[in-house]
Structure 1
Amino acid sequence: MAKSKRIQKRALRRTLELLAPNIKPQRTLAAGGVVALLFEVAFRVLEPWPMKFVIDAVSVSLGANQAGPAASVSLLIWCGVALILIVSLRALSNYMATVAFALVGSRASTLLRARVFSHVQGLHLGFHARNRSADTVQRIVGDVGKLQEVAVTAGLPLMANMLTLVIMLVVMLIIDPALSLVVVLALVAFPLLSRGTAKKITTASRKTRKAEGQLANTAQESLSSIKVVQAYGLEEHIGARFTSANKKSLKDGVQARRLAARLERGTDVIVGLATAAVLVGGALRVLQGAMTVGDLVLFTTYLKTTMKPLRDMAKYTGRIARATASGERVADLMDVESELAVLATPDDLGAVKGEVSFNDVHTDYGGHSVLRGLSLTARPGELVAIIGPSGAGKSTLVSLLVRAQDPNWGTVTIDGVSVASADLDELRSSVSLLHQEAVLFTGTVQENIRYGRFDATDEEVEQAARAAHAHAFIETLPDGYNTVVGERGGTLSGGQRQRIAIARALLRNTPIVILDEATTGLDPESASLVMDAIEKLVAGRTTLAVTHDTEVALRADRVVWLQDGRVLLDDSPTALLANSKEFRQWVNARQQNLDDIRIGDTP
């Protein structure tokens, strides 16, 4: 039990520490909300007094043996006006507090969400490879939203209610100390009732959020691979997985709600018992002459007002427990540190000429060695084709150069400057990367090309598209350059997406270009157009072309064959054709495969 309490407190502390930097800029607004709540508390204390004066005055007029003025029209009118004024001011104070807290919560969650998203974007590729993207999105969007309940929806009002409870209790002690003992007993009974419940709600809520993350993962995986799902008839199988995750989320969610409802209804029972005790005891006190009827009404009203914070405490305890579970998930995400060390004062790359060197580089992935002492240099303006079997470490070279990962040993340099010591933004702005699957973003064709350089004019975008052999097909689209492409460019063919990506890279105009299987999977016609566009892209730029395409290899200045994490061959294509049996066999095998594909395509 003690360990569970420590875990619960630690979870709440982590959540509050996560929120604090984002609430701090809103401290003036939050302070204004607290002041408005204090005024609401004051008006709430004053609200029953006009009724007490009226009841006591009427009682005196009816012959009650008690001190005080008799009822008169002016007294009744003044009491009515006072009640209207107090209620109006209380409503205004409540409105101002609610708006202030809502703004604080919304702004704080917006800042936190941006901070979390920026943190996740800066994490190394290893993190993104291991983690499910849908669950990460769930934490950024859903769990951050839940944290508003800790900071604002529940947290700040709960503090205000606690203040209300204390003030009301003091006033009730002044009116009748004996009856006030009933309220004290009710306040003691509440923590006994809620003991351990918050922890159970947090545990159940943690399971719920985890199950919802799994649910999102299943849905995202299915929808992103819908072509395969439908082609292989996997709808029923994937649907069963989704249903299973859905039921798990439902079960845990119901458990959390059930525990919260039990706490709230248990509090209602405590409030009911306290009210009944005050009603009976207060009536006896009036009969004994120890208090007036107005005092009893005032005390009963205060009891009702005092019990409201108690009810709210039960309600907010459940909310805070659920939000704390979300806070833990977000805190876990923020605790992930990038494997890429960033220097406080990075080296300046300056005007990059484009000499790229890998010096005795060793890397591993998942505990398995990938590169084993690899050394390789590409001179400025040189096109180097990187070939070799799968798993030889070709794509690892790409990751190292753009510093998506760091080597375990050795250095990677550009113009003699280690990429590990260079400014990351400056480094990546010097490199254009073209993947096998050209990634387009939801938006217009023009916007996707302009991602290469945001300040490019429409004319420069069109020039880049013409150079990439993309202008002709773009003009045939329904709205030309303003045509909106679907998610990941799904409304375009592979060759069209690749040529738009090349146009984007041309507009970027960097001294270093990396081609990662840029022509793989394209039909011969599209591949030919893409190759022509690539020739314009790489002209005069240092280029590393990871490829299985013989045409790319034979057009290169040098061909580097990687095998088992080391350089097996390194020479010009002409020299390798003349001197290397392995390279000739590699070229012949792929050309034969290409001829077979062409024969198969012939009608």
Structure 2
Amino acid sequence: MTSRSNGSTGSTGNIDTDTSRKGSLPALKGLLPFLRPYRRQFALAGIALLFAAGATLAIPAAFKRMIDMGFGAGSAVTSIEHVDATFLALFGVAAVLAIATAARFYMVSWLGERVTADVRAAVYRHVVHQSPEFFETTRTGEVLSRLTTDTTLIQSVVGTSISLALRNTLLFIGGLVMLFVTSPKLTAIILGMLVLVVLPIVLYGRRVRKLSRDSQDRIADASAMAGEILNAMPTVQSFTHEEIEAGRFQGSVDSAFQTAIRRIRARATLTMLAILLVFGSIVFVLWLGAHAVLEGTTTGGELGQFILYAAIVAGSVGALSEVMGEAQRAAGATERLMELLAARSDIQDPAQPLQLPPRTENGARVTLDDVSFSYPSRLQSAALSHLKLDIRAGETVALVGPSGAGKTTLFQLLLRFYDPQSGAVRLDGVDIRDLSLHTLRDAIGIVPQDTIIFSSSALENIRYGRPDASDEEVIAVAKMAAAHEFIERLPEGYASFLGERGVRLSGGQRQRIAIARALLKNPPLLLLDEATSALDAESERLVQRALEAAMIGRTTIIIAHRLATVQRADRIVVLDDGRVVESGTHASLVAHGGVYANLAALQFQPAAPAEQLG
């Protein structure tokens, strides 16, 4: 198979963090895929909306009838009958309005909650499938801000703003039609004046849109900073930087506050302009209508009806301007979420993935064929350079070398967190780029140097290696990893909560949990990244014995700093500057007097510092 180049040097995994871009209303189209599954609910909400709008528009007509027929010329008995009938009809309209409004509120609120949940789930699902390159350039706090703050804005626009916009649009159109029916002359005048007042409102709305986007970005900056510091509290406190970091966060929060105040001030000004200009126009037209009543060219009931419809139209315009501000904020939030969803990882499953050969009793064969790789953020520096390495099935190979030699990079390529710029990595003869990521990673177990413990029980932390494992299987591997005894001593045994990032455990205990997790997975290839570095001498002896048993029937690659681990390996591979410089057994390499011998001498020489191999 020929070596292939991929796009790992590209930036398709990055999200746009340009804060100068304006969120525009067309960005809300990105929500359509999340809205389509709920057409039925939208239809029901639309029906309720039509009934509510129709009931609202019927109220002024009832008032006209009451004024002209109830208080006009005629006998008192006739007037009372008209008043009674009109008020009875008015109550019926109010009942329809109440029921329709409640139904509309329920349906749109349900839609807001449902769509927001779907967006959050989709964004999170997409993010967790991104390659490490994505997280090299994107802060975790930025992602969390988009999952929380931005989706809350979307909930507002779907659950409230869309409904209000449709309702007030219907009221505006319906009220406008009824204004023409009531008095074409006065309506023509009021429309001419509205055209003059809309232009400044639209122009100022653009400023509100830009400030809305900036406000969200400042909030994201503050969240990102908080997430970074909270994840590094031991370091912050050990350097007594609590006040410094609190001051930095205060500055970030103040920046977000100032941006938010500018947005609020702009929105307040926009609302003021809209109400003042629109209602000013209406007051002028009503002044003309009052003169028409005095001159006898129109009735009091018609003027009353016109006033109510004018109020409905004016109120709907004011509400639409308010909704527009919310929609512009949501448009910015949608834009940011769509950026996340548009991010594409360079590490993708092949169109037609191959399968690994059936597992043998010896494990898997690993081959690195002329592999060269540079990290996307450090393209000028090669982490691996023309690396060639063939590891037989069932073989235990230890990787040693100075820091930066490429040991951890090799693990990351095996797990296909990155793809090499040239060359190929093969598992049992199959290029790992031809395997699905699930097939590849399911065949590999890893014990990392930086152990990850989840905020759950000891049982569930170990079961993370194989979610369908029984309690008995979990306990069995815990015993193999020398973890059973200390877990049993926990307050609730295997059900004990281990705290966030395992804060209730020592470093050695966390590492034994990780070893048990890897053993439970039972993969053909086992990667040990300094798996015993945090253990005391007694625990190391127990775990080393467990690891030796676990290595039977599988291929094991070890990044080792301690010669006690290295000496038991079938082969030691010495890496330096991304290349294999030596390979052999402990005895042969010491006798050779090369890089490995020098590293061994540094570690064991009594007068020298206790430096590690790597």
The verdict on a shared fold, with TM-score over 0.5 as the criterion, is yes
C-alpha distance after superposition, 1:335-382 (max 9, x if no partner): 221111432211112434411111100101211211111011111111
Q: Contact between 1:385 and 1:556, CA under 8 Å: does it hold in 2?
A: yes
* 4, 9, 25: which one aligns with 1:12: 25
Q: Match for 2:153: what amino acid? A: K
Deviation at 1:562, TM superposition (A): 0.7
Instruction: Tell me the C-alpha RMSD between the 2 structures.
Output: 2.2
Could you say which residue in structure 2 is the equivalent of 1:274?
A: 281
* 36, 39, 47: which one aligns with 1:27: 39
Deviation at 1:48, TM superposition (A): 2.2
Q: Contact between 1:360 and 1:374, CA under 8 Å: does it hold in 2?
A: yes
Distance (Å, rounded) in 2 between the aligned partners of 1:481 and 1:342: 37
C-alpha distance after superposition, 1:371-430 (max 9, x if no partner): 111011111111111111111111111111111000000111111111101011111111
* 370, 391, 395: which one aligns with 1:360: 370
Task: Tell me the TM-score normalized by structure 2.
Answer: 0.91
* 507, 519, 523: which one aligns with 1:506: 519
Q: 151-160 or 534-543, which moves further after superposition? A: 151-160
Q: Does 1:296 align with 2:308?
A: no
Deviation at 1:595, TM superposition (A): 10
Distance (Å, rounded) in 2 between the aligned partners of 1:222 and 1:7: 28
Distance (Å, rounded) in 2 between the aligned partners of 1:401 and 1:75: 87
Q: Contact between 1:57 and 1:70, CA under 8 Å: does it hold in 2?
A: no
Q: Does 1:557 align with 2:564?
A: no
Distance (Å, rounded) in 1 between the aligned partners of 2:106 and 2:340: 30
Q: Does 1:100 align with 2:112?
A: no
Distance (Å, rounded) in 1 between the aligned partners of 2:255 and 2:95: 48
- Write the mapping of 1:505-544 to structure 2, written as runs, cut at 5 A: 505-544=518-557
Could you say which residue in structure 1 is the equivalent of 2:410?
A: 397
Distance (Å, rounded) in 1 between the aligned partners of 2:128 and 2:537: 36
Distance (Å, rounded) in 2 between the aligned partners of 1:245 and 1:31: 44
C-alpha distance after superposition, 1:5-49 (max 9, x if no partner): x975x7433x32321111110122112212211111111111222
Task: Tell me the TM-score normalized by structure 1.
Answer: 0.93
* 302, 306, 316: which one aligns with 2:313: 306
Deviation at 1:150, TM superposition (A): 4.1
* 547, 551, 555: which one aligns with 2:560: 547
C-alpha distance after superposition, 1:215-257 (max 9, x if no partner): 1122122211111211111112112211111111001011111
C-alpha distance after superposition, 1:144-183 (max 9, x if no partner): 2212344442234313322221121111101101111343
Could you say which residue in structure 1 is the equivalent of 2:581?
A: 568
Q: Does 1:329 align with 2:341?
A: no
Distance (Å, rounded) in 1 between the aligned partners of 2:606 and 2:564: 13
* 109, 123, 129: which one aligns with 1:122: 129
Distance (Å, rounded) in 2 between the aligned partners of 1:355 and 1:235: 50
Q: Does 1:370 align with 2:383?
A: yes
Deviation at 1:61, TM superposition (A): 4.3
- Write the mapping of 1:15-414 to structure 2, written as runs, cut at 5 A: 15-61=27-73, 71-353=78-360, 354-365=364-375, 366-367=378-379, 368-414=381-427
**Secondary structure, aligned partner of 1:484:** coil
Distance (Å, rounded) in 2 between the aligned partners of 1:588 and 1:331: 56
Q: Percent identity?
A: 33
Deviation at 1:301, TM superposition (A): 0.9
Distance (Å, rounded) in 2 between the aligned partners of 1:314 and 1:102: 21
Distance (Å, rounded) in 1 between the aligned partners of 2:234 and 2:164: 50
Could you say which residue in structure 2 is the equivalent of 1:589?
A: 602
Distance (Å, rounded) in 1 between the aligned partners of 2:114 and 2:357: 39
* 472, 484, 501: which one aligns with 2:497: 484
Q: Contact between 1:37 and 1:160, CA under 8 Å: does it hold in 2?
A: yes
Distance (Å, rounded) in 2 between the aligned partners of 1:238 and 1:39: 56
**Secondary structure, aligned partner of 1:60:** coil
Deviation at 1:449, TM superposition (A): 0.9
Seen in structure 2, the aligned counterparts of structure 1 residues 329 and 375 have a Cα distance that, compared at 3 Å, is same
Seen in structure 2, the aligned counterparts of structure 1 residues 113 and 223 have a Cα distance that, compared at 3 Å, is same
Seen in structure 2, the aligned counterparts of structure 1 residues 535 and 196 have a Cα distance that, compared at 3 Å, is farther
Seen in structure 2, the aligned counterparts of structure 1 residues 30 and 75 have a Cα distance that, compared at 3 Å, is same
**Secondary structure, aligned partner of 2:423:** strand
Could you say which residue in structure 1 is the equivalent of 2:460?
A: 447
Deviation at 1:542, TM superposition (A): 0.7
Distance (Å, rounded) in 1 between the aligned partners of 2:147 and 2:128: 12
Q: Contact between 2:528 and 2:556, CA under 8 Å: does it hold in 1?
A: yes
Higher relative contact order (CA 8 A, sep 6+): 2
Q: Contact between 1:373 and 1:566, CA under 8 Å: does it hold in 2?
A: yes
Q: Contact between 1:199 and 1:321, CA under 8 Å: does it hold in 2?
A: no
Seen in structure 2, the aligned counterparts of structure 1 residues 528 and 130 have a Cα distance that, compared at 3 Å, is farther
Q: Match for 1:364: what amino acid? A: S
**Secondary structure, aligned partner of 1:84:** helix
Distance (Å, rounded) in 1 between the aligned partners of 2:541 and 2:608: 15
Q: Match for 1:200: what amino acid? A: R
Q: Contact between 2:602 and 2:608, CA under 8 Å: does it hold in 1?
A: no
Q: Does 1:435 align with 2:448?
A: yes
Q: Match for 2:227: what amino acid? A: Q
Q: Contact between 2:71 and 2:79, CA under 8 Å: does it hold in 1?
A: no
Distance (Å, rounded) in 2 between the aligned partners of 1:34 and 1:157: 11
**Secondary structure, aligned partner of 1:89:** helix
Deviation at 1:570, TM superposition (A): 1.2
Q: Match for 1:427: what amino acid? A: L
Distance (Å, rounded) in 2 between the aligned partners of 1:40 and 1:442: 49
Q: Does 1:467 align with 2:480?
A: yes
Q: Match for 2:563: what amino acid? A: T
**Secondary structure, aligned partner of 2:369:** strand
**Secondary structure, aligned partner of 2:445:** strand
Q: Contact between 2:112 and 2:155, CA under 8 Å: does it hold in 1?
A: yes
Distance (Å, rounded) in 1 between the aligned partners of 2:291 and 2:265: 39
**Secondary structure, aligned partner of 2:509:** helix
Q: Contact between 1:502 and 1:537, CA under 8 Å: does it hold in 2?
A: no
Seen in structure 2, the aligned counterparts of structure 1 residues 240 and 423 have a Cα distance that, compared at 3 Å, is same
Distance (Å, rounded) in 2 between the aligned partners of 1:345 and 1:218: 42
**Secondary structure, aligned partner of 1:122:** coil
Q: Match for 1:174: what amino acid? A: V
Distance (Å, rounded) in 1 between the aligned partners of 2:54 and 2:193: 23
Any stretches of 5+ residues in structure 2 without a counterpart?
1-19
C-alpha distance after superposition, 1:424-472 (max 9, x if no partner): 1111111111101210110111111111111111111111111111110
Q: 246-255 or 450-459, which moves further after superposition? A: 450-459
